[in-house]
Amino acid sequence: MPSDELPWTEHPQQRDESADLGLLAPSWAGSAVAGLTGDAGYLRALLDAEAALTRAQAALGLAPRSAAAAVTAAAAEPHRHDARTLALRARTAGNPVVPLVADLTAAVADRDPGVAAYVHRGATSQDILDTATMLVCARALDTVLPDLARTAAALRRTAAEHRDTPMAGRTLTQHAVPTTFGLKAAGWRSLVLDAHDRLASVRAALPVQLGGAAGTLAAFHAYAEAEDGRPPAPDLGSRLLARYAAETGLAAPALPWHTLRTPVADLAGALAFTAGALGKLAADVLTLSRTELGELTEGSGGGSSAMPHKTNPVRATLIAAAARQVPGLAAVLYGSLAAEDERPAGAWHAEWQPLRDALRLTGGAARDAAELTAHLRVHPHRMRQNLDATGGLVVTERLVAALTALTGRAEARRILDTAARRTAERDIELPAALDETLNEALPTAPCEALPMAPEALLTAPCEDRPAPPEAPSLSPSRLRQLLDPTGYLGAAGALVDRALERPEHPAQELP
């Protein structure tokens, strides 16, 4: 067949124009994860998986040691394999392992023709691609985890420094009650540590894949029997799995997981959680760095192509973009749990690109979060200005509690509701509105409305009935105290202290 009729041919101009370098993906462009999850990174992992399999078989006497040496040496030369050509040839078989095995076998034959037959012996394509994917994931997570640790460490410093820095707590976009920036930063840190714990747990459990054609390891038994002349030991499969895991540095699974996709689903969930946790941090930074709030700024924001005055919160923006994409990718990966038979058609294939994208986006977000938190600038004076912007309305919850002792809870709430409404409608200060409302709380009432027993109202003359009580009041000094938002921070400081007792992992620590 002429080359221009092969299903994997390409137009010459496509060779340089189809590479994805992250032009439209600044969230992950240039990150360590981007390189580790690129085609070159996957090719490296595929070759490592093949070499490890031959070494594992040699260790159990299922292949000569010379085969292990030859395959390992050939696999150590990824430059001999063109990823683009492999990608195009993969269209014929549906995955890149088939053409890679052909090329690797030829490379081993050049070194030692007598051991070329041991390349990929007993395995199926999914064994190698799944194992390579787990290697890629492990290598990617080994860069993400330190970034998360650095982020947590930076947030620890920020939370401790601003333990008692007051700011407005906001619910449903509006001022609620006072809080502290230290408590907010401690909350961010808690989420980051939760993400680190989940990813570290998944990283430690990433398994090797080995099952053969239908998950029974039958081919390995068959080759062992053919060479030895007698049936192999019943535990051959489990011993081979364990040795293969040791050779790759991955975990040994209890079963081949061709259609038991727990490892991928668990990773998908951890990646989605991590992106969301970092997205919470980014969402708060984006809100608090608005011009009209000005409570935070990024240490070195980005510029605008049109407006010289702007310093955009670019890192928070990129993290927020990643947080919106990863959950959708995780949904695709969860969907692949519904895989039919012992090897699926489509469900497995649907995982490849979403998993790579999720790794890249989460890795990029972790990188950006580490940079963002290391240089985040906090503006306590703006926090205080915004806290005072409502003239005391931010502490009406506290005033309700104080008035309850004088009027009862229901009446106290009515009084503060009325005072708050008057403050907004008539543009007057809360103390004035409150004083006016308090004076109206228990006015002099008509005779029939005075607090007496019903039978007394029928017989006693009006002048003999008791005078109504005086309106409840708060002294000016007590009112000033109650209106000070810094005096209504509850257990914020103690909560920060408690949160910071939780240690983070050293940035250099890997699973």
Residues recognised as catalytic: 304, 343
Backbone torsions φ then ψ of 361, nearest 5 degrees: -65, -45
Helix (H) or strand (E) holding 83: helix 83-93
Alpha-carbon gap, residue 408 to 405, rounded angstroms: 6
Contacts of 498 (CB under 8 A, 6+ apart): none
Q: What is the rounded end-to-end Cα distance, in angstroms, of the chain?
A: 50
| Burial of 79 from C-beta contacts in 10 A (0-12 / 13-18 / 19+) | exposed
Tokens of 366: 């972790």
- CB contact at 8 A, 326 and 358: yes
Backbone torsions φ then ψ of 336, nearest 5 degrees: -75, -5
Closest CA to 27 of 303, 270, 321: 321
- What does the DSSP assignment read for 406-441? HH-HHHHHHHHHHHHHHHHHHT--HHHHHHHHHHHH
- CB contact at 8 A, 278 and 317: no
- Tell which phi-psi region holds residue 21, choosing left (phi > 0), alpha (psi between -120 and 50) or beta: alpha
Alpha-carbon gap, residue 108 to 123, rounded angstroms: 17
DSSP 312: B
Instruction: Say which residue the tokens 């009406």 belong to.
Output: 396
- What does the DSSP assignment read for 179-200? EEHHHHHHHHHHHHHHHHHHHH
Contacts of 380 (CB under 8 A, 6+ apart): 162, 165, 181
Helix (H) or strand (E) holding 378: strand 377-378
Single-letter residue type at 183: L
- CB contact at 8 A, 169 and 176: yes
Alpha-carbon gap, residue 317 to 368, rounded angstroms: 10
Burial 325-337 (b: 16+ CB within 10 A, else e): bbbebbebbebbe
How far CA 276 is from CA of 68, 258, 273, 313, 326, in Å, comes to: 44, 29, 5, 18, 8
